[in-house]
Structure 1
Amino acid sequence: MAFVRHTTSKLSAISDLAAIRSFGFRGEALASIAAVAEVECSSGGARLRIRAGEIIEQGSAPLLPGVVIEVRDLFANVPARLKFLKSDATEVAAIKDAVSAFALLHPRVRFHLTIDSRAAVSSDGDGDRRRAVAAVYGQPVAAEMLEMTGVPLMTGLVSQPRLSRGSRDGMVLAVNGRPVSARSLIYALEECYQGRLERGRHPVA
């Protein structure tokens, strides 16, 4: 049922559009992925395998907490879209960046990303934001982070001036828990470090 379009929609009324609290609201994510790939979903002791939108296998699975979703052969049935994928390294880097951002922004959720049988990102989900930073950037970086205080409507951790990077890759900003890319917010944050960082260096936040 979850892989049928709109069946997992979070909306029950038009007014709900003004109060969206989830990362999706149309209920099409699973259906869209299953339509262009082979997807296997295991949850609650049951397992379902779908290819190109059609169920090809269903049965039992280990009774474990949570949901496991595996995606294989993305766009195999739509080669016109497959050719627009970039190199494996570029696509993997984009996936890691996305998972890392959500791990930082939602420390109460456990994230585990495996790439080529090796753990690339693994957070505890214990609610400790500093430990989430350690899971993504390492303990030395986490130890140099400061809690933001006295800033209305804003929460998070920012690096001390002695910790900086040569790019803005270490800056993860969000609005209502959703990652955003906004130059105005980035520049506003960097203004706080004016005169404290060398030219071409950027904070971690």
Structure 2
Amino acid sequence: MTSSRIPLYHVKGTHYECAYSIGVITCDRIRQRIADSMDELSTLFAFIQTECGRQLHQEFIETIRLLFPWYWDEIRGLVDGSEVPLEQILVLNFLNETLTAQRLLEEKQKLDPTNEKFINETGEKGCTTVLLNRKDTNTFSLLHNEDHASALYLTGYLVEADIRSSEYGDEKRQSPNEKFIAYCYAGVTPGNC
């Protein structure tokens, strides 16, 4: 019988070191999530092998490395620790963006030449997020449900991270020191649910 408890992992170090540890600890969860979601993910994994898909992810990589290199360190650490291919980790971290680009390309190819309207529409579902900001009780809460896919629920976990700042760009920039607890999807950096 499977436990319904959500595991809590503790990590400490740089962005890369924390993500590497998470990758090592959760590699089986990541592989399970991919296996459980293969019906949805297989088309995205195929899409990123196309010129359009590779270009999309290359642009994501270049932007992240330029603006937030510590997040790129997290993705690299997750890949290195889990030994899951970079392309698959990128799909998991940019799931909505990759799915949207893939669908736009498909829809563009299916235009009705008589009226140039899209033939198909998608009615995607997702999780719900609610923000409560009550000044009268000084309460700030961010609530989120996880009912989009069972693979997310069954492979999710909590991480308590104590991330130490690192220097970037010839010591001209520094990543922030961060301490947080986050619910994570397997294969995805914390905060990217």
| TM-score between the two structures when normalised by the length of structure 1 | 0.23
Could you say which structure has the larger radius of gyration? 1
Q: Which has the higher contact order (CA 8 A, sep 6+)?
A: 2
